[in-house]
Amino acid sequence: MNDTTTTPEIDIPEDATPKARDRIVALAAEKAQLRSQLDSLTPQVAAAATLRGELDTLRAQHDAARAEWQAAQTGWTTERAILSAGIVDPEAADIVAHAYSRVAVPAEGAKPSLAEWLANREALPKGVRAYLPDAGAVAAPAATSQAPAPTALPPTPAVNAGASSGTAAPAKTFSPEAIQQMLGTPQGRAAYAANRTAILASLK
């Protein structure tokens, strides 16, 4: 027995057979059920779209943070390789980085690291060699039988003895050889990192 009380109003041809009428009524009921399900799923689809937008935002923030970290890591690696080669001129970093970026990758093997490239002194461009110290100045610390002791930073004289801030001027005694010795030990590298601004300022 067909229940037509809950079925939406439908147009059934008058000459339709009972079987055709039943089929039309069943299809109309199925259509109404599917529409109801679609209406119930619409809010869920909207919520999923919102979550996807938030996920895209978080992914973009993650990618930006990762790119920033990689840039900082690359910058530190570059600076460490340059200082290890004895180059202490602050203006030399851009020149060295630019020259290194133009180094061609060999057909077989990998591109040398910046430290390896700087170690091959004779193959360097003249613009880079101009910033390198004399070979003896770089090799002298390595030729000693014992590792050099960390170079203690000299006391900085007070600029104004009567000033309450106690600000001191950077010492002017940081030679390339002294900086090279500092970088040769963990204690020296820590001292360099803590006083990097004063050291670079004294070299200008």
Q: What are the pLDDT digits (tens) for 18-72?
A: 888 888 888 888 888 898 888 888 888 888 888 888 888 888 998 989 888 888 8
3-state SS assignment for residue 181: helix
Rg, C-alpha atoms of the chain: 37
Domain count, the chain: 1
> Does some domain include residue 183?
yes
- Domain range enclosing 196: 169-204
> Does some domain include residue 194?
yes
> Does some domain include residue 50?
no
Structure tokens at 127: 């613009």
94 exposed, middle or buried (CB, 10 Å; 0-12, 13-18, 19+)?
exposed
Helices 92-101 & 18-84 angle (0-180, nearest 10)? 120
Task: Return the residue matching tokens 């004399």.
Answer: 134
> Does some domain include residue 37?
no
Backbone angles phi, psi at 131, to 5 degrees: -95, -10
> Does some domain include residue 179?
yes
> Does some domain include residue 193?
yes
* pTM (predicted TM-score): 0.36
> 57-113, pLDDT tens digit by residue?
888 998 989 888 888 887 788 888 888 888 887 778 888 888 888 888 877 778 888
183 and 195 in contact (C-beta within 8 Å)?
no
> Does some domain include residue 134?
no
Backbone angles phi, psi at 169, to 5 degrees: -80, 145
> Does some domain include residue 173?
yes
